[in-house]
Chains A and B, each alone.
Chain A
Amino acid sequence: MTWLPAASVHAGQVDILLGGLLLISLAVLGLVFGLMLLNIIRFRVGSRVPVSAETVAHKSWRFEIAWTSVTLAVFFALFLWAARLYVVGFQPPSGAIQIYVTGKQWMWKVQYPGGQREINALHVPLGRPVQLLLTSEDVIHDFSIPALRIKHDVLPRRYQSLWFTATQVGAFRFYCTQFCGIGHSRMTGTLIVLTPTDYANWLGQTPASGSLATRGEALFIHNGCSGCHVSQPYSPGADDTSRAPSMVGLYGSQTMGPDGQRVKVDNAFLHDAILHTATVSGQAAAYATQMPSYRGVLAEEDLAALIAYIQTLSPSRLSGVGMSASPERKGN
């Protein structure tokens, strides 16, 4: 039995938090069992000192207030400590490599920006931030990497994000940790952290039929997106632009939500906008034509490719805009 490795800075920080919680727990347990034993030894029947009810009632207030406020103070400190570490998970750094992970009963499909794909294995370079974009084709799964102390549920038809920077070369297990049917315990795989050179070699040796963005461009034309949406920096004609919003510079910009609120265009926004425009975008009213729904037409892997392509149309913004943590977007 080997002890669980901590393969990122964050993992180490979580371990320190767990250590703190453990120390406090041991202290409280020591107190509770200690007092229990002491009381039993001193006050076993026979060695009895009668106590009147009135004096107890008078005295109890002081004790009650003392232990309630100490408990509250300790709890509040723990809450703040743990919350600060958690917030980091919502803030992927700029320049993270975006890797798409799709769960289905009962396997994990992984797509890299260069077009490489694999199943139940995830290769990442040492020391570079990686952002996983997680979605499911059927039920809820959960992508969990204990060595990094992170996990997140994987919901059907919606993107969730998980990011990390691995600081230890090696192979670490990942698991599905949300019960997803009878094959649940077979839905595991290996995270392989390579040095940057090894990683580059691995990418080079792994066959890929064109990069994700190239495939996305083909899909953009094939599915008729290009019929309405402009994708060239130099607009071919005023007519076209008025049919639908331009894709150029869209990624990472602000747009209007269905209720007129400002929302950021990120992966999750694009994903949902392609599937059912009206629920995430408030642009429809500005255009005469309606965008058809692509639900059931495009698979999750196609969506990933399309998003990768749309990202290339905003080169200046292409970093670190994975997920927004804004409540209005998360809720839909």
Chain B
Amino acid sequence: MAPTSDPQTMQRSYLWQDGTLRSWLLTTDHKRIALLYMASITAFFVLGSLGAALIRLHLISPTGAILSDETYSRMFTMHGIVMVWLFLVPSIPVTLGNFLVPLMLGAPDLAFPRLNLISWYLFVMAGALVVYGLFRGGLETGWTFYTPLSTDYTQGRVLPVVAGVFLSGFSSIATGVNFIISIHQLRAPGLTWYRLPLMLWALYATSVIFVLATPVLSITLVLLAFEHVFHVGVFDPALGGDPLLFQHLFWFYSHPAVYIMILPGMGVVSEVVSTFCHKPVFGYRFVAWSSISIAAIGFLVWGHHMFVAGTSLYAAVVFSMLSFLVSVPSAIKVFNWLGTMHGGAIRLDAPMLYALGFIGLFTVGGLTGLFLASLASDVHLTQTYFVVAHFHYIMVGGMVSAYFAGLHYWWPKITGRMYPEMWGRTAAALLFFGFNLTFFPQFLLGYEGMPRRYATYPAQFQVLNVLSSAGASILALAYILPLIYFIWSLFRGARATANPWQATGLEWRTSSPPPTENFIEPPVVTHDAYDYAALDHPAPAPQAEPPHV
């Protein structure tokens, strides 16, 4: 058994080795940068959630309970932009990813430690610009910035917000480049590609999207700013531009971006499910390659956001078919996780509960994606609350659950402390329940025809809206709870051992928390990922497997 993190390990660890503020702000240690990022995206998550709370409160009444039409429009714009670019896109890669990539590779740091620090500063500046724009003047375009509304018909602060999102793109690209090169160059001796933990496959696929898709967003935003400021006709037909061009460019980034948001979550879930079943991931290679194929096909489906926008019939048919195709690898992952559970030794600790929540909610999100990939049903459901429910199932139900699964799972490694298990399970259960109560009614609202982004609505929709708002208050509780007990555990939590979950990754071979240089002795890899037999030895020869799945 590895040593517990006694006070001595703590002092040698990256957390306490040099405690000055200066050493934190100028650090190039990937673990410290991960924590800087964690503090920043938590702040943005709180900000975005406050927006959501006001939105749900407002929609209790058909005439709108608390906000003016204008404030309401600004509120959902703020919510969307903050949540997408300042929380979801960076979330897992820049926090857990930053912390884990070198550890999982058996390396002392990322390939470019200073670039990593720069990416955090870029991100903070981007966040500051966006928040400045959104609160000094505000913006009412939605997170999608559709033209010509955003270029010629808004009094809002387009420029700072767009500049902020533009800047955050560079931060994404820097992280992507850093991960790709680290995974290629810094693998420990013996760590072949097919021995990588699936988390790294997922982060690799994510990084490829970061690098290839983000520049398109940057260019699009520059064109948007040009038209807004200089009235150069790019998108506005009144100036000789083409409004659909904007949508093509925007979704060419933003559809792959939804996979930026979900792939890392899938990586986390693969790790957690394997550990808490104490069993290798079923179909390792299929799960690994499904991440890559999602990233690849994900570039070819942007047109499914434009089935009623006025593109040609042929385009719609082709994009519909490709959208069905891209959901096949996601389905493969779900089946493989279930296959992993079969015949394992399942423990239901908080990370596993969150991971199971992810599988369930992601499946609902994916299945409702089929309703939207189907042409004739999309026509009815698009632009309604059905779409809102669909992507919240995937991004909040799925992605945020996965983020919480990962936080609980690696918390002992990051901080050297255990979180209180009972509270962890309670919060996971509460999240699942509150989430469904919030978003399931929105599927029905969407079918009934309630449009999204409405500040007021016909009275017939009130019952379902009130249900949704009630769910949101439970959901809020499920988010506040971990915030409290995580902070508590920083000071009072039980000391963690190096490998509290009996997991196989390299990150569990060093102390909790790890020393600044990660490994006192550089590790050598002699086994596949998830080789529990090797971990558990002196294992007798394994018995025959159960008869069927």
A→B interface (CB under 8 Å)? 1-4, 13-14, 17-18, 21, 24-25, 28-29, 32-33, 35-36, 39-40, 43-46, 48-53, 55-57, 59-60, 63-64, 67-68, 71-72, 75-76, 78-79, 81-87, 89-90, 105, 138-140, 142, 144, 146-147, 149-153, 155-158, 160, 173, 175-186, 188, 325-327, 330-332
Contacts and interface: CB of A to CB of B under 8 A. Distances in A.
B250 to A, nearest CB: 13
B543 interface: yes
A108 to B, nearest CB: 14
B178 interface: no
Closest 9 CB pairs of A and B: A146-B449, A82-B374, A86-B375, A85-B376, A52-B542, A185-B454, A177-B383, A39-B341, A327-B312
A181 B154 CA distance: 8
Contacts of B383: 142, 144, 151, 177-178
A49 B148 CA distance: 62
Interface in B219-262: 236-238, 242-244
- What is the interface residue range for chain B against chain A? 35 or more
A49 B69 contact: no
A183 B284 CA distance: 52
Interface string B430-463: 0000000000000000011101111111101001
B334 A155 contact: no
Contact of A90 (B278, B313, B356): B313
B88 to A, nearest CB: 20
Nearest to B334: A32
Interface centre among B69, B328, B375 (most CB of A within 10 A): B375
Interface of B: 69-70, 73, 140-142, 146, 148-149, 153-154, 236-238, 242-244, 277-280, 282-284, 286, 307-317, 320-321, 324-325, 327-328, 331-332, 334-336, 338-339, 341-348, 356, 359-360, 363-364, 367-368, 370-371, 373-380, 382-384, 447-449, 451-458, 460, 463-464, 528, 530-531, 533, 539, 542-546, 549
Contacts of A13: 376
B345 A48 contact: yes
Contact of A184 (B73, B368, B375, B458): B73
Nearest to A332: B242
A138 B153 CA distance: 8
Given A45-B345, A79-B321, A177-B451, A14 B377 contact: yes
12 contacts: A48-B344, A51-B344, A51-B546, A53-B530, A82-B376, A86-B375, A149-B380, A156-B148, A177-B384, A179-B453, A183-B69, A327-B313
Contacts, number: 278
Contact of B153 (A157, A176, A181, A188): A181
Nearest to A183: B69
Contact of B243 (A64, A156, A184): A156
A25 B238 contact: no
A14 B313 contact: no
A2 B375 CA distance: 26
Given A14-B380, A49-B543, A86-B375, A155 B153 contact: no
Nearest to B362: A32
A40 B238 contact: no
A144 B449 contact: yes
Contacts of A184: 73, 453-455
Given A29-B367, A86-B375, A182-B69, A144 B451 contact: yes
Contacts of B338: 32, 35-36, 39
B454 A36 contact: no
Contacts of B544: 55
Given A25-B370, A52-B542, A63-B282, 4 more contacts: A68-B331, A75-B370, A158-B237, A330-B312
A29 B360 CA distance: 8
B310 A71 contact: no
B328 A68 contact: yes
Given A21-B377, A150-B379, A182-B69, A43 B149 contact: no
A155 B542 contact: no
Nearest to B325: A75
Given A144-B449, A181-B149, A182-B69, A331 B312 contact: yes
